[in-house]
């Protein structure tokens, strides 16, 4: 395994629980502090157009409180570009966004939008924010990401994670490996993520060239379970006025 690989913890799901009641808890800002105490090297949040989980207020406060680095995931729209240029995250990951999707469904198609997307990269990077493109490990998309002038790509690991059998998983890992080689040759820096779990992360963490893995769902899922016993015990203490 690549010892220098870093972990960006995606805390969107914490905000999803809060938004289920439109209340103030759990606060993703508090979650970011705990993730950093646990060793997170970065905090990732996705500010979606429909604001279904992370809110503008979260990104603004996280900019002040995150002690590692803040990765803002967003769609390449003029609204989001303006927000990023004002808040100045440490880097931005550009993702495709569809209102009806449950989560980001695939990599963005840069090759089809090269001129427009090159101008998005210029605006953000001229504003001092390095750009990462969330793409499939497809040679055309990697080449196009390079042509936009972006510093990073984030390889979409969803097909590897969702592979129905070992052979497909092996083939998808090979595609990611080839993608890393191509990106390194082009001078791109490489992140990866989506669908990674405690059980499937190791082979991806071993791929040469990957600098950071962005992981959310599996970490927040585990946090709910490992924290539940303590939370129930504490409620019983609250019954007794002893919390
Ligand atoms: N990277 C990107 C670009 C994403 O959109 C997401 C999901 O928000 C992740 C990584 C993390 O994926 P997961 O929650 O499956 O770990």
Q: Which atom of ligand 1 is nearest to the CA of 13?
A: 14
pLDDT at 3: 67
Does residue 79 carry a catalytic annotation?
no
Contact between 117 and 78 (Cβ < 8 Å): no
Residue 117: per-residue pLDDT: 97
What's the rounded Cα separation, in Å, for the pair 10 and 5? 16
Q: Which residues on neighbouring strands pair with residue 193, listed in sequence order?
A: 156, 214
If you take atom 6 of ligand 1, which residue's CA is the nearest one? 194
Domains of the chain: 6-239 (3.20.20.70)
Buried b (16+ CB within 10 A) or exposed e, 72-106: bbbbbeeebbebbeebebbbbbbbebeeeeeebeb
Q: Retrieve residue 32's tokens.
A: 């970011």
Residue 168 burial (CB count, 10 A): 13
Q: Does ligand 1 have an atom closer than 6 angstroms to the CB of 194? A: yes
Please tell me the predicted confidence (pLDDT) of residue 46.
Answer: 98
- The per-residue pLDDT for 142 is 98
The verdict on whether 46 is a catalytic residue reads: yes
Contact 154, 132 (CB under 8 A): yes
Instruction: Give the orientation angle of helix 78-87 with respect to helix 114-126, to 10 degrees.
Output: 20
Compute the distance from residue 233 Cα to the ligand 1 centre, in Å: 32
Residues of the chain falling short of pLDDT 50: none
For the question of residue 13 being annotated catalytic, the response is no
Predicted confidence (pLDDT) per residue in 75-129, tens digit: 999 999 999 999 999 999 999 987 777 777 789 999 899 999 999 999 999 999 9
Atom of ligand 1 nearest to the CA of 220: 14
Q: Catalytic one among 13, 73, 146, 172?
A: 73
- 68 C-beta closer than 6 A to ligand 1: no
- Atom 9, ligand 1: residue with shortest CA distance: 194
- Closest residue CA from atom 7 of ligand 1: 194
Q: What is the pLDDT of residue 2?
A: 66
Residue 106: what pLDDT? 83
pLDDT of residue 104: 73
Residue located nearest, by CA, to atom 4 of ligand 1:
194
pLDDT score of 29: 98
Reduced to 3 states (helix: H, G, I; strand: E, B; else coil), residue 154 is strand
Write the Ramachandran bin of 194: left for phi over 0, alpha for psi from -120 to 50, otherwise beta.
Answer: left
* 156 Cα distance to chain centroid: 10
Q: Is 12 in the pocket of ligand 1 (CB under 6 A)?
A: yes
The predicted pLDDT at position 97 comes to 86
Question: How far apart (Å, rounded) are the C-alpha atoms in residues 43 and 13?
Answer: 13
pLDDT value at residue 1 = 65
From 156, 172, 194, 212, the catalytic residue: 194
């Amino acid at each position: 395994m690549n010892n220098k690989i870093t972990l960006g913890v995606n805390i969107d799901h914490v905000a999803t629980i809060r938004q289920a009641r439109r209340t103030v808890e759990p606060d993703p800002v508090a979650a970011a502090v705990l993730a950093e105490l646990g060793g997170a090297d970065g905090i990732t949040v996705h500010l979606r157009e429909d604001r279904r989980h992370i809110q503008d207020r979260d990104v603004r406060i996280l900019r002040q409180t995150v002690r590692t680095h803040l990765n803002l995931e967003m769609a390449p729209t003029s609204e989001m570009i303006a927000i990023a240029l004002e808040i100045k995250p440490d880097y931005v990951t550009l993702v495709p966004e569809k209102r009806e999707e449950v989560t980001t469904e695939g990599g963005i198609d840069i090759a089809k939008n090269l001129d427009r997307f090159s101008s998005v990269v210029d605006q953000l990077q001229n504003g001092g924010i390095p750009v990462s493109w969330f793409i499939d490990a497809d040679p055309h998309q990697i080449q196009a990401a390079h042509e936009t002038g972006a510093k990073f790509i984030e390889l979409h690991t969803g097909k590897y994670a969702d592979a129905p059998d070992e052979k497909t998983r092996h083939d998808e890992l090979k595609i990611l490996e080839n993608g890393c080689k191509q990106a390194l040759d082009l001078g791109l820096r490489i992140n990866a993520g989506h669908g990674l779990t405690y059980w499937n992360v190791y082979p991806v963490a071993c791929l040469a060239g990957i600098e950071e893995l962005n992981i959310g769902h599996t970490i927040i899922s585990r946090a709910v379970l490992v924290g539940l016993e303590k939370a129930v015990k504490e409620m019983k203490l609250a019954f007794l006025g002893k919390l």
